[in-house]
Structures are given as structure tokens and as C-alpha cells.
Chains A and B, each alone.
Chain A
Amino acid sequence: MSAPVQHGLTEHSHGAGVPLQIRSDRLRSSSVADFPQITKTQDLWRYLDADQLKGLDADVLAEYSDQVSFSGPAGVSFEWVLSSSAPVGSIGLPEDRVSAAGYTNASKTLLVEVAEELVSSEEIRIAIHGDSSSASALHIFISAGKFSNTTLILEHTGLGVLSENVEILVADEAKINIVSLQNWDKGSAHVSAHFAKLERNSFLKHTVASFGGDLVRITPIATFAGPGAEVELNGVYFAEAGQHLENRPFVDHAAPNCKSRVTYKGALQGDKAHTVWIGDVLIRAVAEGTDTYELNRNLLLTDGTRADSVPNLEIETGQIEGAGHASASGRFDDEHLFYLQARGITPDEARRLVVLGFLVEVIQKTCIPSLIDSLTNLLEEKLNRN
């Protein structure tokens, strides 16, 4: 349960003094009106100012009308359907005001259906490219049919102020590898709630990769609805001056004999670069045989950065395989630098080596070679900028 000792790292606080709400008691609703106006006094929003949301907390948002393109192998269908029609809304209900605003104001939903038993190495791609800063709403529903095995990349670029809800159904025995990449231009704000439901013996690998955007806040929720399923929630982020990158993964162990692994790593560089990681795991009374571990690590490369990191574990049964967490945020250490320099490596190269090694480990877990290459290059560019 304790963080492994690592040089130059400080252990996380266990939420001392913070009123912790029981995760299962949290309000869920598709109605914006059910949620109060956002203020810093609310636990869900305590790490940012409402004006950073650039209007996403309003009651009325525009329907997202910028470019959404998609492609995929045969056996994958894409269709815009009315958000009032099934299966939209069957996986999860919003847990916060911005998500509810997105939910209510997106009248249509992009329904992506992977046929049963489809096994394909060709990636499914959804590319969202914005060129407007008006606050808007988008809803996506991804359905991975029984026994299917696919990979999906959801990419966000350009300028956008977006409330996005993504529902993910992983049917019995299905496997899906999903990457949500946020590489927005300056001036963008993106708040996205992912709701994943894992049915019997299914597997979801879910990676959040956040690099560009003034504000990016992703809340992936994975709920086990059948026994024997497994989820990997991974995240990688790099916050530069003025950026706020927030991740709030939640694993709801609501079925027995399921396994979850949560691994988020981030680096921060530049004045007022801010990252937040709140990792919730709930093991319900029914979830005997649960095996869970969550980890968050942050590397502070310069002064003036801030990384908040809070793991929360609620356990309602003692009959589990294992439950643990580790969280630590540390500086890029002078002693690391000295050690590498003492082997002839220049200070710039030393920083590059450490940061890339630290973050690429998470990117490699996606097992998508083209993405690993492009994100590694992206990180190198960012490091060279400093």
C-alpha cells in the first residue's frame, strides 16, 4: 500500500483534511440543472478556476459542428444517431455539470459499432479537428461487439472548447485498445467524460495522452458489469507553462474476479504548469476476488510547476486478491543530473533521457508503433523548446 522508495520523490498525502465523498454516493444526472454552478469549493472542481472552462459550464452549449472524420476496417460502422435513441445513454450518466451540459446539448451521437467477432489490426480512427472557440458539445458511443478485438484512436487537434461524453461498451469476451489523444492548440479547453462498461471476461486498455490545450480534463470511468473482466487505464501527460491537465480515472469494481491496473505518468515544465490526478477505485461488497493497483508519478522539470496527486481506495469487501496504490511527485533531481553528466552526458541530453524514459514507458503500453513514434517525437520537440 505504500509507495516504493524512490530517490528525490515525495510521497503523496492521504487526503488529510479533505472531505472525501463516498464515490458510489455521487450525484449522477443528465440534467445540467441538477448540478450547482461550478466553484472552487466543490471537491470535483477544487483544482481549477471556473473561467478556465471558457464557458463549458453554461447551461446551453452549441452542438459541435467542426470536423469529425472517421475511418476503420470493414466490420466497423460509423453513424450519427439521435442521442435520444438506444443505445446512447445506456452506459453512464454525467457526474458533473460540464458533462451534463455536453450530454444535454449534443442532440446527435456518433455511434461506432465494432461487429461481433471482428478481429482487426487496422486501427479505427476518429479525428476531431476544431477551428472555433465557442463552447460546444459532442457525444460518441463506441460499441465493441462480443469476441471482437480492435484498436481505436480518438484524436483531438486544432482549436476547440469542447464538452465531450464518450460511452464505451465492451461486450462479453471483447478486447479493445482505445487511445484518446489531446493535442489541442493554445486557447483550447476540453472536458471529457469517458464511461466504459465491461461485460463478462472483456478487456479494455484505455490510454489518455494529453499534451496540448490550455485546459484538458478527462474523467475515465470503468465499471465492471460482469465477472472476469480486466481494465488497464493508462495516462501520459506533459504540461507546459500555463497549461492545466487533469485526469480523474475511476474504476468501479461492481463484479467479482475482475482486475484493474491504473498507471498515469506526467511531466511538468514552465511557469504555472499544473497537473491534477485523482485516482478512485471502489471495490463493492459483491466484488470478491478483485485485484487492483493504481499508480501516478509526476516529474517536475522546472520551478513554478505544480502536480496534485491523490489516490482514493474504497474497499467494501475483505475477500480480495490485492489492492494497492502509489503516488509520488518529484523534481528532476540535481543528483540525477550529476550522475549522468559524470558519464559525459550533457545536461540537455540528460534531461531528455530521463523525461523520455519516464513517459515513453506509458506510451509503449499502447502497442501502436505509429503512435509511439509520433508521440515520442512530440515529446522531444517539447523538451527541446525549454
Chain B
Amino acid sequence: MSILQVKNLHVSVDTDQGAKEILRGVDLTIRSGEIHAVMGPNGSGKSTLAYSIAGHPKYKVTDGEILLDGENVLEMSVDERARAGLFLAMQYPVEIPGVSVSNFLRTAKTAITGEAPALRTWIKDVRSAMDNLKIDATFSERNVNEGFSGGEKKRHEILQLELLKPRFAILDETDSGLDVDALKVVSEGVNRAHAASDLGVLLITHYTRILRYIKPDFVHVFVAGKIAEEGGPELADRLEAEGYDRYVKA
């Protein structure tokens, strides 16, 4: 059982007008096996929370803590956080010219586990994970995200999630830009990873649509850089019916 704690997190970014505070005191605790949905309108800071946990250098933590089983995550580099068991499925995965998917996956797996995976079982694992996500076998030889469609990029993110087996996954609007079929495939992947390894999930989304396929245990409504309301799955139903207007106008 692991635990990821975000305590009173304040985060700023540098702008032309000086530092701008985006997160204004976020508190959130996720345990292994739990699925938390963070929902909120555009600009509320949802993605900033995701990137801050992963350690993107653009986001400056000005106050608060992030702890993984009591360890100070904020003192870790980006790659150390990943090796400690944190995974960020990105909203806009970048293209990496010259690096094939197969080379990338093997290098990442080696980095995470500290030793190169046994080739025969690894190839089998990759192939079956790709089959499950309906990813064509030719993907292995393509460069990472290069020329991928929006849906292919998201499936590739979930492929990594399934192969790298982190303790906690942060899914940053993984549902955006997906048609219903792709959304189902991606959701099944998340559910498989969740069931297989007691994964803790922080699911960041603008819409309730994905929550029909991935059932959250907790729902947090994010407004203006902090959590405005928390509850169980029923809160998502209410958001679906009423939208965010109630929070934004308040």
C-alpha cells in the first residue's frame, strides 16, 4: 500500500508580467487502488497540478509539499520521480525524432526497473499490450509520437502506463480529442493497469464522459487553483447535469 500526498501546494509560472500563481493551496491524498477524478473548467489549474507532480521545470512550487510514502517528491528530479513510481500520461505528448517506439519503451523499462528486461518475454509483453490497445505492430518501428494521430498518441501513453507499471498514474485529459471507440480502448487500458497492480489513479478531465468507463472512487472539483468541492461518484453526475457554472459564478 502506497500513498501520494499533496499538501497545501502553491505553484507559480513565470510570465511576461512576472510570476503568476496558478495553484493556491491544493490538498489531495491518493492511496494505492483508488481512482480520483479531478474535474474543472478550463484554466482552473488541473494540468498544472499534473505537471507539478511530475516535476516539469516550468512550474515553480512556492509552498507546500508532495510526499510519496513520506518521501519528499519535490526534491527529486523528473526521472527520479518516474523511477519512484509516478507516471504522467500527457495531454500533448511531444514527437521525439530519431527514437523508435521499441527503443524508447525498452530504454524506459530498463530505467524504471534498473535492469534490461529479458528480451523474449519483453517482446511478448509489448506485443500483447499493443494488441490490447489495438495498436498496429508497425508502431514499434515508428519514431515516438512522430506523425501519430491524436488517438494514437493517447493509446501510446496508456501503452507506456501498462508496460512501466507505476504505483500512481496521473492522466492529464487523456480523454480529450478521442472518439468513443478510442475512449473505450484507452479506458480499458487504464482499468487493466488499475486491476493488475493496485494502481492509484489521478484522472484529470474536463468532461464526465470518461467517467462512464473509468469509475472514480472520489471526485474533486477544481476551481481557480484549488479544490472547491469533493465527493463520491455522485458529484460527477451532478456536474454532468449542471456544469461548472455554479462554481465559476460563485
A residues whose Cβ falls under 8 Å from a Cβ of B: 6-8, 297, 333-336, 338-347, 349, 353-361
Contacts and interface: CB of A to CB of B under 8 A. Distances in A.
A346 B111 contact: yes
A335 B108 CA distance: 16
B110 to A, nearest CB: 9
Nearest to A347: B79
Contact of A334 (B54, B57, B96): B57
Nearest to A337: B78
Contact of B77 (A336, A341, A358): A341
What are the nearest 6 A-B pairs in CB distance? A357-B98, A358-B98, A344-B111, A341-B78, A343-B108, A344-B82
Interface string B68-84: 00000000011101110
Most B-side CB within 10 Å, residue of A8, A336, A338: A338
Given A353-B103, A357-B99, A358-B98, 16 more contacts: A6-B97, A7-B95, A334-B57, A338-B57, A339-B93, A339-B94, A341-B79, A342-B78, A342-B81, A343-B112, A343-B160, A344-B83, A344-B164, A345-B107, A354-B96, A357-B96
B14 to A, nearest CB: 14
A372 to B, nearest CB: 15
Given A357-B100, A357-B143, A359-B98, A339 B111 contact: no
B209 interface: no
Contact of B104 (A7, A353, A356, A358): A353
Contacts of A342: 54-55, 78-79, 81-82, 87-88, 90
Q: Say what secondary structure dominates the interface of chain A.
A: helix
Most A-side CB within 10 Å, residue of B56, B79, B111, B144: B79
Most A-side CB within 10 Å, residue of B83, B96, B99: B96
Contact of B108 (A7, A336, A345, A354): A345
Contacts of A349: 107, 111
Contacts of A347: 77, 79
B170 to A, nearest CB: 10
Interface string B145-168: 010000000000000100010000
A345 B111 contact: yes
Interface in B20-75: 54-57
Q: Say what secondary structure dominates the interface of chain B.
A: mixed
A334 B51 CA distance: 14
A292 B55 CA distance: 45
Given A338-B56, A357-B103, A343 B111 contact: yes
A91 B22 CA distance: 67
A236 to B, nearest CB: 12
A333 B79 contact: no
A349 B77 CA distance: 14
A359 B81 CA distance: 30
B112 A358 contact: no
Classify chain B's interface size: 20 to 34
A340 B111 CA distance: 10
Contacts of A333: 94
Contact of A338 (B78, B112, B144): B78
Contacts of B79: 341-347
A361 B99 CA distance: 10
A358 B78 contact: no
A346 B107 CA distance: 10
B143 to A, nearest CB: 7
A344 B160 CA distance: 12
Contacts of B87: 342
Contacts of A336: 94, 96
A354 B97 contact: yes
B26 to A, nearest CB: 20
B112 to A, nearest CB: 4
Contacts of B111: 343-346, 349
A241 B192 CA distance: 50
Contacts of A8: 94
A349 B54 CA distance: 18
Contacts of A345: 79, 82, 107-108, 111
20 contacts: A7-B95, A339-B96, A341-B55, A342-B79, A342-B82, A342-B88, A343-B82, A343-B108, A343-B112, A343-B160, A344-B83, A344-B164, A345-B79, A345-B108, A347-B77, A347-B79, A353-B107, A355-B98, A357-B99, A358-B97
Nearest to B113: A344
Contacts of B104: 340, 343, 353
A342 B77 CA distance: 9
B8 to A, nearest CB: 24
Contact of B164 (A6, A7, A340, A343): A343
Nearest to A339: B94
Contacts of B146: 6
Contacts of B103: 353, 357
A6 B93 CA distance: 13
A6 B103 CA distance: 20
A364 to B, nearest CB: 11
A341 B54 CA distance: 10
Contacts of B160: 343
Contacts of B112: 343-344
Most B-side CB within 10 Å, residue of A6, A334, A357: A357
Contacts of B98: 354-361
B66 to A, nearest CB: 15
A7 B143 contact: no
